[in-house]
Amino acid sequence: MSTLKPVLSRTFQLILVLWAVVTILFLMFRLMPGNPLAAYIDPTFTLEQQEALIRQFGLDESLLRQYFTYLGNLLQGELGYSFRYRTPVAERIWLLLPNTLILTFSSLIVAYIFGILAGAWLAWRRASRAEAFALPIVLATRAMPEFWLGMVLLAIFSFSLGIFPAGGTRSAGTEYESLWSLYTSADFLSHLALPMLTLAIYSQGLPLLLMRSNMLDVMKEDFVTMAKVKGLSPYTIVIKHGARNALLPVMTSFAISVGYQLQGNVVVESVFSWPGLGRELVSAVSASDYPLAQGAFLMIAVVVILMNLIADLLYTFLDPRISHA
Amino acid sequence: MLETTVPEGPVIRIFRAMKLPVGDNFAMAGLIIYVIFALTAIFAPVLAPYEPTEILYTVDYDLASDLLPGQEGHILGTTSLGRDIFSQIVFGARAALLVGLTAAFMVAFIGTIVGLISGYYGGWVDTILMRLADVAFGIPFLPFVIVISAFLEPSIWNTVIAMALVLWRDTARVIRSQVLTLRSRGYVEAARVSGSSDFKIILRHIAPNIVPLSLLYGSIAIGWAILTEASISFLGFGDPNSISWGFMLQDAFASQALSRQAYHWFIPPGLAIIFVVSAGFFISRGYENLLFPKLGR
Amino acid sequence: MSQPLLSVKNLSIVYEVPNLDVVAVSRASFDVPRGSIVGLVGESGCGKTTMARAFTRIISDNAKITEGSMDFDGKDLAKISEREMNDLRWRDIAFVPQSAMNSLDPVYRVEYQMHEVLRGRGGMSRSQAKARAAELFEMVGIEANRLRDFPHQFSGGMRQRVAIALALALNPKLIVADEPVTALDVIVQRQILDQMRALQRDLGISIIMVTHDISVVAYICDRTVVMYAGEVVEDCETATLLSKPLHPYTMGLKNAFPDIASAGTGILTPISGAPPDLARPPAGCRFAARCPFALDHCRSVSPTLMSFGDDHSVACHRAHEAEALRAQAALPETWGEIL
Ligand SMILES: Nc1ncnc2c1ncn2[C@@H]1O[C@H](COP(=O)(O)OP(=O)(O)O)[C@@H](O)[C@H]1O
Ligand code: SF4
Ligand SMILES: [Mg+2]
């Protein structure tokens, strides 16, 4: 299989990058000012708890030994105990990850559907008044601070108009039997609406601009001209040949956007009190809950790196010039 | 088209070498915004009617809090602590300019040096530098800046350094590939064979072709830096001694400006950010059109 | 003689560029008889592609047909409605581009692109299209199982065959081939030209063969139209053109190319100089600046295309002296003097 090799070499590269990021994370939290034990131990822990953690993370040993212990623990999914919640960090992270992923993917899917259609349309109407009007607006949406957009939407749709709730994932006092029934409830979706819209408005610019400029390029290709010479229908020419080819790099950018979005989530989750990884990271850092902060950072980094890999592989699989080499 | 030859002074020649995108409408709009922005920052003490953190009182010695635009002579009103919003906006331009320029400079500088070395020398140096860039691409940007800003003492410099530590990657990759194409050109090869030193070749033949690209990435980084600083300040990890637009938004958010519908408080800082950051985007767009011209755009 | 399949009269095509007009084809006239291969030859930039594409009326956004007619089977291609024109596209007039690589969509299998035409334009069912595609591949000498491949998986020569198979798909009356073999090496060129000749005979279609290479014309074309700077300067049977050219430009072209059939050994003499700027063509004969036989008269008065003997047209003031000029033109020195 000719496609196996790039997959393997990229995967190997991913492992290297992951290792490097994990090492940076270790150094970041170990070299910070203050007590070296502070990365895992809170003074309010009981003595037995403290001793157990010192043993588990080798905190009384040399930095190098600690590093290997840290790597070993990571491989077993062992991230320590949250100072504030007194629960394993991993447990907390797994609880929050779905919320972050739901927010990220729903907003990006909306952003991409809109961006692709609008981008293709703007390419079609190039040099028109619609374009002169739309392009600066699109550029301006990319220049907005996401959290500010969130604040504005929150003020208008929640506080002024009262259409959507102000934050969180569910109304006070509601209980659901399972996560699934929570995620599919109208209550959850109405809580999702504003943060999702915020991130979608912010993210649509990239697919829109990419799609537009790709379409403009593709429509000048020989095969598009030949499709016209063949007398094919405008739909076939614009959609099947034009858009299909222009879409390729846009699809790849989706995976990269997931990575970027995850980072941007940090602020938007904070504005909407959305219980996700980003907000958790911020509150953990503020509260000096270092194990939890490390865990959240690590999880975000893993998704970012994974998405970079997927972007590469997507390209490999979507482009027959590479997949059928 | 008419072509006139005007004798060129040194200033014009420098500008020409930088290939400033003066012909492009978008870019010109951006440059004008930048000039206004820079002047505002420089003359902030003159333009602002009050100290940005000064707590103000009305003529009857009441706290001048939550005034609406126009009330008591406050152009944009006041915050709930009785501070003048317009003055804060004006002084916020200083923080933004400082962050934007220093970050852009560092990003463009580190990125260009890394890209130059990587592309010019190739081999294992290149491999190592580019793997480092891969790692930088694997670091979640905002979380990284948050953690660094929180651990080191909160200051604008730490935020800027944290940004530069990650953002050099994009510039480095682009510069590297540009250097690779330049290196394969005849005259660089010829200069090498004729025994010119690497330093001379880089300075003479490669650097001039790279300056515009560095400027392009620098102008993109200005926007990123201002947005990032705003996020960091909004989350409460910013420099407590500087009034930035992000700080204003954090202040408004924490003071329930949203539920009290104090739009006059949190709308202006956001617009100021959009204004300045889009100016950077406009300029970089103009640069792109200039550096990578494509017909029909 | 029966009506020609295509009769071009006084055709002019202009590219509008800011502040100026490039007249890429100016008042060109020639006929394409039924069941023949007509060569359209001339240097790069003389307007061949512009004219070839005009027969499909898919021309650049900034191009305009400003005058003249193109009578195709009783319809003037310059006048008919867009709907009528689109009916003719590919069903009656097909096109083989220079680079089949760029003219096939890289993301679809060749089969898909074949079906697109057969079903979308030919109204065939899926199974009919499948059979027809296999048949077409067989006609151009490619195994039918390669239909499942993507364009980039074919070699250059194979791709041109695919392009020819595509052109034949709907049994057109006319195939316009724009430099179909230019990018290929001589051996493959010959194979493909042989095949085109055979298919043209079997199917009784007509081909317009656009090329800058007079040896391609010599190898395959029944008739040849020579273009220079947007104008037709000579038009006759290929055999006559090669043995008794009347236009000095044709004489020069002959010296400039090797013979495709015999992998020629003769010395090649290029015509020195460059063609004029089509945005500002000179007064008089457009070839005058490079013509070794130019007279003062040539530089002020434009020669018109005139019948000269049986079925032979030429645009040159000195055509009546052609015999003497041919003798001089055969000498390399003749072409060397001019800078
Ligand atoms: N889209 C266009 N706009 C302006 N001029 C063009 C355009 N396309 C071709 N031309 C000009 O028209 C002339 C004829 O071009 P073309 O038909 O491609 O020549 P050929 O196929 O014989 O090489 C050339 O001078 C070319 O520069
Ligand atoms: S008209 Fe005169 S210049 Fe033109 S080709 Fe004939 S001889 Fe030469
Ligand atoms: Mg051509």
pLDDT in tens, chain B (297 residues): 333 444 555 555 555 556 666 667 777 888 888 888 888 878 878 776 777 776 666 666 666 666 666 666 666 676 767 677 777 887 888 888 888 889 989 999 999 999 999 988 888 999 899 989 988 888 888 899 888 888 887 788 888 888 899 889 888 988 898 888 887 777 777 777 777 787 888 777 788 788 888 888 888 888 888 999 889 888 888 887 788 888 888 887 887 767 777 787 778 888 989 988 888 888 877 777 766 654 333
Contacts of A322 in chain C (CB under 8 A): none
| The one-letter amino acid at C141 | G
CB atoms A223 and C105 under 8 Å:
yes
Are the Cβ atoms of B134 and A213 closer than 8 angstroms? Answer: no
Residues C149, C217 share a domain: no
Report if residue A87 sits inside a domain. no
Q: To the nearest whole percent, how much of chain C has pLDDT over 90?
A: 74
Determine the distance separating the centroid of ligand 3 and the alpha carbon of B268, expressed in angstroms: 58
Alpha-carbon distance of A131 to A139, in angstroms, equals 12
Q: Is residue A80 part of a domain?
A: no
Q: Residues C138, C229: one domain?
A: no
pLDDT tens digit sequence for C197-209: 999 999 999 999 9
Q: Which chains touch B (3 or more CB pairs under 8 A)?
A: A
Q: Is B253 within the bounds of a domain?
A: yes
Statement to judge: residues C56 and C185 lie in one domain: yes
Q: How confident is the model at residue A224 (pLDDT cuts 50, 70, 90)?
A: very high
Among chain A residues, CA nearest to B29: A136
A144 touches chain B (CB under 8 A): yes
Single pTM value for the model? 0.80
pLDDT digits (tens, 9 = 90+) for C157-184: 899 999 999 999 999 999 999 999 888 8
Q: Are residues A57 and A185 in the same domain?
A: no
Pick from B40, B91, B70, B73: nearest CA to B279: B40
Query: What CATH number did the domain enclosing B274 receive?
Result: 1.10.3720.10
The bound ligand whose nearest atom lies closest to the alpha carbon of C46 is: 1
Banded pLDDT at C306 (limits 50, 70, 90): very high
Please report the residues numbered 208 through 247 in chain A whose beta carbons come closer than 8 angstroms to any beta carbon of chain B. Answer: 213, 216-217, 220
Looking at the domain assignment, is residue C150 inside a domain?
Answer: yes
Token pair of B152 as six digits: 């080191």
Show which of A26, A45, A75 is a domain's final residue. A75
Q: What does the pLDDT read at residue C257?
A: 72
Gap between the Cα atoms of C24 and B268, Å rounded: 57
Q: Test C90 with A229 for CB contact under 8 angstroms.
A: yes
Task: Give me the pLDDT at residue B106, please.
Answer: 92
Average pLDDT over residues A76-91: 81
pLDDT computed for residue A48 by the predictor = 79
Given CB atoms, is A297 within the 8 Å cutoff of chain B?
yes
Q: Is C103 on the interface with A (CB under 8 A)?
A: yes
Q: Looking at the 3D structure of chain A, how many domains does it have?
A: 2
Which atom of ligand 1 has the smallest separation from the CA of C60? Answer: 1
* Same domain, yes or no: A106 and A243: yes
Q: Kindly indicate the confidence band of residue C185, based on its pLDDT and cuts at 50, 70 and 90.
A: confident
- Asked if residue A157 is part of any domain, the answer here is yes
Q: What share of chain B is helix, strand, coil (3-state, %, to 5)?
A: 70, 0, 30
Name every protein residue with a CB atom under 6 angstroms from any ligand 2 atom: C 248, 285, 287-288, 291, 293-294, 298, 303, 316-318
Burial class from Cβ neighbours inside 10 Å (0-12, 13-18, 19+) for residue A217 reads middle
* A228, A230, A244 ranked by CB distance to C121: nearest: A230
- Terminal-to-terminal C-alpha distance of chain C: 45
Is C135 a domain residue?
yes
Report the range of poorest mean pLDDT among A110-114, A303-307, B53-57. B53-57
Q: Hey, are the CB atoms on A286 and B282 less than 8 Å from each other? A: no
Helix (H) or strand (E) holding B26, with range, is helix B25-42
Question: Are C34 and C56 in the same domain?
Answer: yes
Count of beta carbons in the 10 Å neighbourhood of residue C330: 12
Residue located nearest, by CA, to atom 7 of ligand 2: C294
Ligand 1 is surrounded, with C-beta below 6 A, by: C 15, 17, 22, 24, 42, 44-50, 60, 62, 278
Span from the CA of A198 to the centroid of ligand 1 (angstroms): 49
Q: How far is residue B90 from each of residues B84, B93, B270, measured CA to CA in Å?
A: 10, 6, 13
Q: Are residues C79 and C113 in the same domain?
A: no
Q: What is the pLDDT of residue B149?
A: 84
Q: Based on the fold, state whether residues C261 and C217 are members of the same structural domain.
A: yes
With respect to residue C1, please indicate whether it lies within any of the assigned structural domains. Answer: no
Number of structural domains in chain B: 1
β-strand pairing of C37-41 with C206-211: parallel
Structure tokens at C240: 């006559």
Residue C121 reports pLDDT greater than 90:
yes
Domain coverage including residue C249: 6-92+172-335
pLDDT for A81 beyond 60? yes
**C102 close to A (CB below 8 A):** yes
Are C301 and C190 in the same domain? yes
- In the structure encoding, which two tokens stand for residue A106, read together? 């729903």
B152, B223, B297 ranked by CB distance to A143: nearest: B223
Does A88 map to a domain? Answer: no
Mean pLDDT of chain C: 91
* Beta-carbon contacts below 8 Å between A and C: 65
> Is A137 part of the contact surface with chain B (CB cutoff 8 Å)?
no
Which range has the worst mean pLDDT, A177-181, A294-298, C12-16?
A177-181
C81 and C148 co-located in one domain = no
What is chain C's percent helix, strand, coil content, to nearest 5? 40, 20, 40
Distance from CA of A301 to the nearest CA of B (A): 6
C107 and A231: CB-CB below 8 Å?
Answer: no
pLDDT score for C164: 93
What ipTM was assigned to the predicted interfaces of this complex? 0.91
